[in-house]
Amino acid sequence: MSDMTLYGVPGSPFVRKVEIVMGEKSLNYELEIVNILPTPDWFNEISPARRIPVLRDRRIATEGVAGTLADSSAICAYLEKLQPEPSLYPSDAFAHGRAIWLEEYADSEMASTIGPGIFRPLLFPIMQKKEPDVQAAKKTWTEKVPSQLDYLESTLNGKSFFVDDQLSIADIAIACQLSQLGLLTQCSLDGRWPGLAKHLEGIKQLAGMQKNLAACNKIFGRMLPEKFDLG
């Protein structure tokens, strides 16, 4: 058994974020599947917000709340201290602040648009053998997502990475949200957001991302005959 267990499902962009950081830092872990809708009672003790992911570090405690951390940002910050190389947080103070801001932008602004606006209206009805709400997803894709992508495209400004020309938590958090689009839809960043499209392809080459997306494609491939065209 690995020292660390990550609780959640691969289809969560926040679980993906932790898996990429684990991969970059060559940390071993096992993913224990915990579904939401609802989260099981035993899990709520270690996840007061009833959200995935939660990490358990068995070297600290093997049961109960001790040794567990909720929230992907807390987990990634812990992993950075635990295994500082390669560093995923810029050393310069201002650049560090910028990286945390972009991580936060991805985890809050983008997640609250793409999750409830596109991912859930398509996936959750399918899981319940109901009709997916394609109109709601189309509306989000055409009316809400573009301004966020415009902001990110201009912030990236043709560079390979968002902050200080090196891979950081900002790149990982943003790519985790953007990769969510491709799991269920044919939405493309090419055309209006070429820098972001190239950036996402780069982050998709990371080992943790590849492992996560392979698991996602297996799960969603079984559920969907073809990906949704949101226009």
Q: Rule CB under 6 A: say whether 166 interacts with ligand GSH.
A: no
Kindly state the number of chain residues that form the binding site for ligand GSH, as judged by CB under 6 A. Answer: 12
Given candidates 12, 140, 179, 212, which one binds ligand GSH under the rule CB under 6 A?
A: 12
Q: Which is nearer to ligand GSH, 10 or 23 (CB)?
A: 10
Q: Rule CB under 6 A: say whether 185 interacts with ligand GSH.
A: no
E-state strands within 58-184: 68-70
With CB atoms as reference, the residue minimizing the distance to ligand GSH is 51
Task: Tell me the C-alpha distance between 189 and 202, whole Å.
Answer: 14
Given candidates 31, 46, 52, 77, which one binds ligand GSH under the rule CB under 6 A?
A: 52
For the CA atoms of 45, 47, 48, 51, the dihedral, rounded to the nearest 10 degrees, stands at -140
Cis ω for the linkage preceding 86 (within 30 of 0): yes
Given candidates 24, 107, 153, 171, which one binds ligand GSH under the rule CB under 6 A?
A: 107
Q: Rule CB under 6 A: say whether 73 interacts with ligand GSH.
A: yes
Strand partners, 54: 7, 70
Q: Rule CB under 6 A: say whether 19 interacts with ligand GSH.
A: no
Q: Which is nearer to ligand GSH, 13 or 132 (CB)?
A: 13
Q: Rule CB under 6 A: say whether 50 interacts with ligand GSH.
A: yes
Residue with tokens 């939660």: 54
Rg (CA), the chain: 17
CB of 52 to ligand GSH, least distance (A): 4
Task: Tell me the C-alpha distance between 141 and 134, whole Å.
Answer: 10
* Core vs surface per residue 158-188: b (16+ CB within 10 A) or e: eeebbbbebbbbbbbbbbbbbbbbbbbbebe
Task: Tell me the C-alpha distance between 150 and 154, whole Å.
Answer: 6
Q: Which is nearer to ligand GSH, 52 or 203 (CB)?
A: 52
Q: Rule CB under 6 A: say whether 71 interacts with ligand GSH.
A: yes
Q: Which is nearer to ligand GSH, 36 or 197 (CB)?
A: 36
Given candidates 14, 29, 43, 105, which one binds ligand GSH under the rule CB under 6 A?
A: 14
Residues that bind ligand GSH (CB under 6 A): 12-14, 36, 50-53, 71-73, 107
